[in-house]
Structure 1
Amino acid sequence: MGGVTPYNEIIMQLYMQGGLTLRTLTAVLLGAGSRGRYIYGPYAEKFPNELKFVAVAEPDDERRQRFAEIHQIAEEHVYHSWEQAFEQGKIADVMIICTLDRMHYIPTMKALELGYHVMLEKPMSPNARECIELEQASLKFKRLLVVTHVLRYSPFWSGIKKCIEEGELGAIGTIQLTENVGYHHMVHSYVRGNWRNSEETSPMILAKSCHDLDLISWLMDEPCTAVSSFGSLLHFKAENAPEGAADRCIDGCEAERECAFSAIKMYLEQPADHWARYMTHDLSQEGIIRALKEGPFGRCVYRCDNNVVDHQVVNMEFVSGANANFIMSGLTQSGTRRVQIMGTQGEIIGDMDKGSFTLYRYATGEEIEIKCSVQGDGHGGGDERMVSSFLKNVHQFDRNPSQGLTSATASLQSHLIAFASERSRLQQGRSIKLTEMYQKEEAGV
């Protein structure tokens, strides 16, 4: 059910109608990390008539050169920093920004000012006021600013959205969404990895779960009025280290064989193209061992500089009186999302990992299982559809300036919910009013 019409079909239809000149869009990539390298780069390789990278900015030498070689980028457009990518003015149609969270705001503002259409990795910024300013800038400069809330494009979530829009549930009373992060993902990204410390990047509710808050906001389709939240760093801290734990798993740790979070088990004893590829370019056994000895991913999970939560709950109230509850936990076996949507005429219960949801109709007693394709990327097939939709909107923008399904305007509410959630958590669950928070942030109070 649902889904997004493939880009190829839409563009060809417009072309055949004489309403569009078909041409390849050119792009600048800022940040050739996992998203740039494994999502956007492969899209351009798969659909070379749709997207061509003509410049890349990446501080890591090996990542930068590898991306440049794959996409045959001229040497004068291979940059060490994002700042260099702006020195020659506007050199492409679009800019895809995959830098770390605290390096989103300034390059995005510069790109919009120069006239780029922008695809920006979530979150927009770890600062609420900057998110508001980015949304305002996209409207001021009349440019697309699409935030990568990729799950909206997946068959699973778009199928659920279609059921709601067709009135299958009546009025929604409550949405309950659980994000099981999975302990492997938790320790890789949020204990040892780039998003472990909120002072360097973002709080986990923003860095990881703005996807989920966006889904709730999208499915509910009305303003959120108030938020409260509780959560903490329960487990991954020094006081919970087992007896005999070393600073690094590879340094003769006495507890390593019994530890569920052993870096040796995760990176050396798993296939190299699974987790290890995200921490080192050298996937030989020697290369992985070197990374475990020298880099952050070899550290004991109880002896890192992490401070983000490993579990959190968020309660939301909406303008109609409907409410939602979101649970995020890194203390789970698998990484999946489970949802229950309770309405006046029906109910939906689904598991994204299984790729299906069940629609219950109260009046007839029917139970209808709806299967959705989950083939493709790690976001249920949403990544490719998201890029397709972005390119479609760029091609059509002069004729039909749609901001798209995940524009900055559409995304702003879920970002504000995330900021309000973190403020509430730090204030022992105090209720935060969103309108009041927005007004204060906009005024710079």
Structure 2
Amino acid sequence: MFVSTVQQKAKITLQSSSRHVTPAVNTRGSDLTEIHECLRLHRYMSANFRLESGALVSVLSALWSASRHEEVSHAAVVTVFRCVCVFVCPLSSRDCTDAEGRQRVWTGVWDKQVVGVADPRKFARSKLQQQHRIVDDNVFDDWHSIVEREKFADAVLICTPDRLHKEPAVAFAKKGYHILLEKPMATTAEDCMAIVEACTQSGVILSVGHVLRYDPTIHKIKELIVAGVIGDVVHIQHLEPVGFYHFAHSFVRGNWRNEAESSFVLLAKSCHDIDLIHDWAGARRCVRLSSFGSVSHFRKDNKPTGAADRCLDCSIERDCPYSARKIYLDRVKQGHTGWPVSVICPSSLPDIESVTEALRTGPYGRCVYECDNDVCSNQVVNMEFEGGLTAGLSMVAFTKEICKRKTTIYGSKGELSYDGHEVCVFDFLTQRSTKHTAHENTPWQFGMSGHGGADYHLMDAFISAVANKDPSLIRSGPAETLQSHLLVFEAERSRLEGRVVYCGDAGQS
């Protein structure tokens, strides 16, 4: 996605009780700072009116959230936006997975808020072009075509596959575009460092899509730690429950099943979690770590006797929790066409016929014991930081919960627990438990619920940083992200080499 200024006139429709207010907003000659003020105005109006239109952050975060799903990430997606107070109301849920899928209602839209897109999939780019009225000259099947043009926007959102992040990120940085880059930053430490160097030398803002940093409740954990509520942090225990069918979908049959085609699972899935632990540790550097994990179940030698190579041909699939019929076909029969169903039909709207055909011929119809997956289905990482702080991360596929993280942080004055919904602190002195809630300003009425509202706040921070030329507003900037990514690479090195790794010293063990 690209963001640039526009000189247009817009109208928004507000409704409070039975009265309608239709103010005109003139942005002629506006710059990004003025645009950010429009967003502030929008937040005020959101609190006092039932809006029939959203804000720029709503449209961008909706597209960003959607672009993170499989069928988009498998393409070299770049969408170009004008950074204005675009009034859009995306009402669908996180299940919509096309880059434009979350936007069902458009009211009071600024003229041509989307000014370009690069996507190799004709279906996707045509749909986006039609929805946003993008001129033909700004529709491309390859991001290189945009880089070759004169700079015509302020920022770009890069949603290419994991292994294809470095080249566009470096190229757009050298062109002077501010960048919001999908996580992981890249699949090697060298590529990550190259991206950071290019952005630093070019003086552009880089934000990496570590959405959990922007989750209001998770951010509350950081605030409580900084405030000293639990004293000195002594130990962090963190669980990422991927979910049994989510793992089968994404990491056994799907795009992240094979390291050679994407990346190892700790990077693809759990770089979020290493990043959080690194953030909670504060200024203390990780000095050594160890990691263990394996492909513990989804292997050919665990295939049940009598099972077929494809679920639709299998006589015993009814007894298999990973049946593609259950995960996809039964869902679409119930009217559910969002994630994960939409992923297996990237070139058309999912229905019974298209889903059935996809399961008969495509990768998502395969038996989970007959796939070419080689990424860990369970992995632990043990970390020691300066000052004696220790931390443990567990990532496991076989869970009821889907990505509902659970954390316990043990401090010298208290214990903090997070169950995926709320934060609770037990104070050792008073021996009382207190629930802490985050200040919530997510515009839920616009359907911005992705990652607990984190999608909205990530985009809001990015727009604010670009508007105010203030990279300090980014919680997942280049330095922090590079450091946490390097820990991920060190952890995987420990797993592969079967030894404790001293961070930053390849020769010590």
Distance 1:39 1:244, change over 3 A: closer
2:423 maps to which of 357, 360, 384: 357
- The corresponding residue for 1:79 is 140
1:24 CA displacement = 7.6
1:276 maps to which of 331, 335, 341: 341
Counterpart residue type for residue 296 of structure 2: L
1:403 CA displacement = 6.4
Distance 1:255 1:38, change over 3 A: closer
> After alignment, is 366-375 or 90-99 more displaced?
366-375
State how far apart, in whole Å, the 1-side matches of 2:328 and 2:276 are.
32
Contact 2:291-2:382 within 8 A present in 1 as well: yes
State how far apart, in whole Å, the 2-side matches of 1:144 and 1:50 are.
26
1:413-441 alpha-carbon deviations (Å, 9 max, x no partner): 1111111111111112x11122225x99x
- The corresponding residue for 2:501 is 432
1:310 maps to which of 377, 380, 383: 377
Q: What are structure 1's unaligned runs of at least 5 residues? A: 1-6, 14-22, 441-445
Distance 1:162 1:402, change over 3 A: closer
Q: What are structure 2's unaligned runs of at least 5 residues? A: 1-34, 42-54, 78-95
Higher relative contact order (Cα pairs below 8 Å, separated by 6+ residues): 1
1:231 maps to which of 288, 293, 296: 293
- The corresponding residue for 1:20 is none
1:312 CA displacement = 0.1
Distance 1:110 1:171, change over 3 A: same
Q: Is 1:163 aligned to 2:224, yes or no?
A: yes
State how far apart, in whole Å, the 1-side matches of 2:111 and 2:275 are.
28
Q: Secondary structure of the residue that 2:224 maps to in structure 1?
A: helix
State how far apart, in whole Å, the 1-side matches of 2:468 and 2:107 are.
22
Distance 1:295 1:39, change over 3 A: closer
Contact 1:11-1:392 within 8 A present in 2 as well: no
2:392 maps to which of 316, 320, 325: 325
Residues 33-52 of structure 1 aligned to structure 2 (within 5 Å):
33-34=71-72, 38=97, 41=100, 42=102, 52=113
Contact 1:179-1:328 within 8 A present in 2 as well: yes
State how far apart, in whole Å, the 1-side matches of 2:187 and 2:388 are.
29
State how far apart, in whole Å, the 2-side matches of 1:319 and 1:39 are.
44
State how far apart, in whole Å, the 2-side matches of 1:186 and 1:293 are.
20
Counterpart residue type for residue 278 of structure 1: V
State how far apart, in whole Å, the 2-side matches of 1:327 and 1:115 are.
39
- The corresponding residue for 1:418 is 488
State how far apart, in whole Å, the 1-side matches of 2:282 and 2:99 are.
29
1:331 CA displacement = 1.1
Q: Secondary structure of the residue that 1:134 maps to in structure 2?
A: helix
Normalising by the residue count of structure 1, what TM-score does the alignment of the two structures yield?
Answer: 0.87
Residues 81-160 of structure 1 aligned to structure 2 (within 5 Å):
81-160=142-221
Question: Cα RMSD (Å) of the superposition?
Answer: 2.9
1:320 CA displacement = 1.8
1:383-418 alpha-carbon deviations (Å, 9 max, x no partner): 011001100000111xx4536211121111111111
Identity across the alignment (%): 36
1:113-160 alpha-carbon deviations (Å, 9 max, x no partner): 000000000001101111112112211111011000001111110111
- The corresponding residue for 1:204 is 265
1:378 CA displacement = 3.6
1:98 CA displacement = 0.5
1:45 CA displacement = 6.0
- The corresponding residue for 1:19 is none
1:29-88 alpha-carbon deviations (Å, 9 max, x no partner): 999545777597458968956993311111122112112222221111111122222221
Contact 2:235-2:411 within 8 A present in 1 as well: yes
State how far apart, in whole Å, the 2-side matches of 1:46 and 1:230 are.
51
- The corresponding residue for 1:4 is none
- The corresponding residue for 1:3 is none
Contact 1:54-1:92 within 8 A present in 2 as well: no
Distance 1:412 1:268, change over 3 A: same
Normalising by the residue count of structure 2, what TM-score does the alignment of the two structures yield?
Answer: 0.77
Distance 1:200 1:47, change over 3 A: farther
